[in-house]
Amino acid sequence: MHYHKYRLIVPFLMPAVLLYGIFVIWPYAQAIYISLTSWRGYSNNKPFVGLDNYRNLWEDERLREGLTRNGQLLIVLPLVTIAIALTFAALFTQGGQSVRGAGFYRIVFFFPQVIPVVIVGILWSYVYQPNAGLLNGVLRNIGLDGATRSWLTDPTMVLWAVAAVAVWSSVGFYMVIFLASMQSIPTSFYEAAILDGAGRWRSFKDITFPLIWESVRTALIYLAIAALDFFILVAVLAGGTTTMGARRAEVAALYLYNRAFEDNRWGIASAIGVLLLVLTLLLSVGIMRVTRRETYEF
Amino acid sequence: MSAEAFRPIQETRPVAEISAVRRRPRTVDAVAVWVTQAMLGIWALLVIFPFVWMIMTSLKTDGEIIASPWELPSALQWDNFARAWTDARIGRFFVNTIIVLAGSLTGTLLVSAMAAYVLARFVFPGRQFIYFAFAAGLMFPVYLALVPLYFLVDDLDRFGLGLATYQSLILVYIAYSLPFTIFFLTAFFKTLPSELGEAAILDGASHYQIFFQVMLPLAKPGLIAMGIFNFLGQWNQFLLPLVLMPETLDPDKLMLSQGLYFLSIQGTYDSDYSALFAAMVITMIPTLIVYILFQRRLEAGLTAGALKG
């Protein structure tokens, strides 16, 4: 059957390989080269400076601040998102008599995930508005005037205000992943547990959780990658990449963008990008190693 | 993954039946049900409310938006949508987005299906390498490529591409959609029984005929899932057009989400808030329709991809 197979293989693979090579691989390879130059603008002159950019990054206070924010997100974002998503998924599958309106909730919870991130950002920037915004309005109505603030410029709150939007928009996606995984667990497992007198919490902890571990792992990796990026949401919520709010929630990727497109420091910007790529890869591999467990076949 | 994954996920009846066996006081169950409903209800409200507020606001006057952001519009201002469509040029951006997506979606599916088919069903040297090169693309952050990509596309203008052109954006969208689509479709083609192709060969069909007449129709569920996924992804794409369709070069070539972003930044100067909200509703409608129509398929497809990823 495979006699003339190369007459098919080559033309079938060619378009994908060409497009991918030209528009994906080549720019990334170039980014690595640019990170070794002190290229500052539109001239073709790209002076080679070796690892100088990387050495300077070590001293760069603003990058350090940015990475610290990514680090905070890295801890909080996966924890909160997975906790909420798991809770909802568990409520769907174990909430006694089948949850009323389950189909409706699924559609609603997943919805923010498919909405353009620009709309999510603009919408929430109005929710967070100090005077006419929804959030402060609710707080005033329930008598918590002291808790109102300018969420998107307040130095201690702005990053968390943005993170809350990320959780809001992605909980439904992870819930659906966990649900699909939970629904593939044979019900006989639960029947056996109930006969042994296990309650809801026991059967969740000892049956559900170990059996859906693979999807929790996947979620951890996705969320870790998101925590190291986080650039679009900050830019859109803060109303630009250089506003006061954006500066106070400036994650490393946003700093990269500003270095490149505001300051024309392409060399340094590319070095930040390479650093972030390496961090992302290391983190993904690290999470995969640390979370590796025996998988249960069923 | 198997073709099973594309069947709508069923509600778990059996678990509910078990709870009938459970020897627990009824009151505990009643409380649990109540707490469950309350939690789910609150989250649903948290999700729905901003969108309802957005639609409500899009039908108010600017004065009402500022003076009484909470109240219903006194009269429905459909005119906001007309202003958003023409004055704010959302209509123009809408058409641009449709043109680009018509090309990029067709291209993504065709190019990915051909590559995935070969990767899934033929053995040849370098197959693993090519497969992993595509899969690795799932991890690359797009922002790292932005700067070189900008200059690359600019350089390619001698080949009829260049910045602020539909054809460049179409090719770039296809290229950046390949990793996930190929990854997903390869797994899909692997599940199709190999006897099918062999039978067709015995009947004298060529490899091309097998692909277009036997395999593609069989892969329809996978293609549909990827079509929806990429429609949403490309419709929502923000960074690539922001860099590759610069407003300064051609203000008429902006994509929808990009145009919306500029409108929101300018909005603070012009303070035509009502048109901005109308523009947001217009931008959201296609995703809303596609989502409601294909929700089950999309969920099944995405989770299958995520679970086996």
Q: Which two tokens stand for residue B289?
A: 């329709």
List the single residue in A168, A228, A229 with the smallest CB-CB distance to B46.
A168
Rounded mean pLDDT of A79-107? 82
- Sign of the CA dihedral with A295 first, then B3, B5, and B7 last: negative
| Residue B262 to residue B266: CA distance in whole angstroms | 6
| Residue A257 to residue A254: CA distance in whole angstroms | 5
pLDDT at site B88: 85
Interchain contact, A269 vs B147, CB within 8 Å: yes
The end-to-end CA distance of chain B, in Å, is: 10
Question: What global pTM score does this model have?
Answer: 0.85
Q: pLDDT (tens digit, 9 = 90+) per residue, B17-42? A: 444 444 455 566 778 778 888 999 99
Task: Return the residue matching tokens 């559900």.
Answer: A208
User: A108: which chain B residues are within 8 Å (Cβ-Cβ)?
Assistant: 44, 47-48
B271–chain A Cβ distance below 8 A for any pair: no
Closest A-chain CA to B32 = A95
Rounded to 10 deg, the angle between the A26-34 and A266-290 helix axes is: 120
Closest A-chain CA to B260 = A118
Contacts of A269 (CB under 8 A, 6+ apart): A256, A257, A259, A260, B147
From its phi and psi, is residue B237 left (phi > 0), alpha (psi between -120 and 50) or beta? beta
- Positions of chain B with pLDDT lower than 70, given as ranges: 1-28, 267-271, 301-309
pLDDT at site B295: 83
Rounded mean pLDDT of A95-117? 81
Q: Which H, E and C letters describe A34-99, residue by residue?
A: HCCECCCCCCCCCCECCCHHHHHHHHCHHHHHHHHHHHHHHHHHHHHHHHHHHHHHHHHHHCCCCC
pLDDT at site B235: 93
Q: Which two tokens stand for residue A250?
A: 């400036």
Interchain contact, B9 vs A177, CB within 8 Å: no
List the single residue in A23, A25, A125 with the smallest CB-CB distance to B171.
A23
CA-derived radius of gyration, chain B: 24
Query: Which amino acid is residue B226, in one-letter code?
Result: M
User: How many other C-beta atoms can be found within 10 angstroms of the C-beta atom of residue A35?
Assistant: 24
CA atoms within 13 A on the CB side of B115: 32
* Residue A123, φ and ψ in degrees, nearest 5: -60, -50
The end-to-end CA distance of chain A, in Å, is: 36
Q: pLDDT (tens digit, 9 = 90+) per residue, A229-268? A: 888 899 989 888 888 889 999 999 999 999 988 888 889 9
- Mean pLDDT in chain A? 87
Interchain contact, B307 vs A180, CB within 8 Å: yes
B218–chain A Cβ distance below 8 A for any pair: no
Q: pLDDT (tens digit, 9 = 90+) per residue, B152-200? A: 999 998 888 999 999 999 999 999 999 999 988 998 888 877 777 777 7
pLDDT band, very low/low/confident/very high, at A7 (cuts 50, 70, 90): confident
| Residue B184 to residue B304: CA distance in whole angstroms | 9
pLDDT at site B18: 46
pLDDT at site B267: 59
Cα distance from B14 to chain A (closest Cα, Å)? 7
| Residue B126 to residue B129: CA distance in whole angstroms | 5
B280–chain A Cβ distance below 8 A for any pair: yes
Three-state DSSP state, A153: coil
Work out how many CB contacts closer than 8 A connect A with B: 281
CB within 8 Å of chain A, chain B residues 18-47:
18-19, 21-22, 24, 29, 32-33, 36-37, 39-40, 43-44, 46-47
Tell me: ipTM over 0.90. no
Q: Which two tokens stand for residue B204?
A: 């004298």
**What's the DSSP call for residue B12?**
-
Q: pLDDT (tens digit, 9 = 90+) per residue, A30-45? A: 999 999 998 887 677 7
Contacts of B232 (CB under 8 A, 6+ apart): A114, B287, B290, B291, B298
